[in-house]
Amino acid sequence: MSFVYAPPMDAPEIIHADHEILVVNKPSGLLSVPGRGPEKADCMIERLRGAFPTVLLVHRLDLDTSGVMVFGLTPHAQRNLSRQFEERRTKKVYIARLDGRLEPKTGRVDLPLIVDWPNRPRQKVDHQTGKPAQTDWRVMKSSDTETRVRLFPLTGRSHQLRVHMLSTGHVILGDPLYASGAAADHPRLMLHAESLRLKHPDSGMQMTFRAPVPF
């Protein structure tokens, strides 16, 4: 299956902007940063650059994931926020819809991850060379066919939530890389970054930003 990049054309949804930081709600289907080749130049940071010419990258969301994303507007803010992410001082909460019934109601996946080179950008569990990765979950509601779950990543590995949920036997619905059959047959990846808590790089005040779940 050949992938055609066709991002949604809606204008960026700004959640918060001040002299140091910019928080947006990234739509599913839009790259965070430019991909390889001119056809993948359109992305979140480029769309923001017109109104916010000093915008700087702090972290990324997968192409298929929607939700809260923060950018720095000064080098100081970028450094400060990047350090908060590296030192796991931010708190990220995601909502996902999973295939089947996830049990028990709460739990933790603690499995190291590494890129699956022959099948990149896929990632895989690797106990020898993988980097540590932990995800907590809390079931919101479930049926025999589907579970809505709140996910709390303690680390920030690439595709962490997607591979960790796959490892439980309950893949995220609509995942173009990891789901198959009926679980893949959804209009988008059912994963959304619902909230992000961080300290403002200037005031040091704790702030929480939210984006409503679109599914």
The reply to whether 62 belongs to the active site is: yes
Which member of 62, 64, 99, 175 is catalytic? Answer: 62
> Burial, 149: exposed, middle or buried (Cβ in 10 Å; 0-12, 13-18, 19+)?
buried
Helix (H, G, I), strand (E, B) or coil at 197: strand
Q: Establish whether the linkage from the previous residue to 12 is cis, with ω within 30° of 0.
A: no
How many residues belong to the chain?
215
CA–CA distance, 38 with 44 (Å, rounded to integer): 15
DSSP class of residue 79? H
- 112-119: long-range pairs with CB below 8 Å, 24+: 113/157, 113/158, 113/159, 113/160, 113/163, 115/158
Return the closest-CA partner of residue 13 out of 44, 54, 40, 35: 44
Cβ-Cβ contacts under 8 Å for 56 (sequence gap 6 or more):
71, 72, 73, 74, 75, 77, 78
Which of helix, strand or coil describes residue 71? strand
Catalytic residues, by residue number, are 62
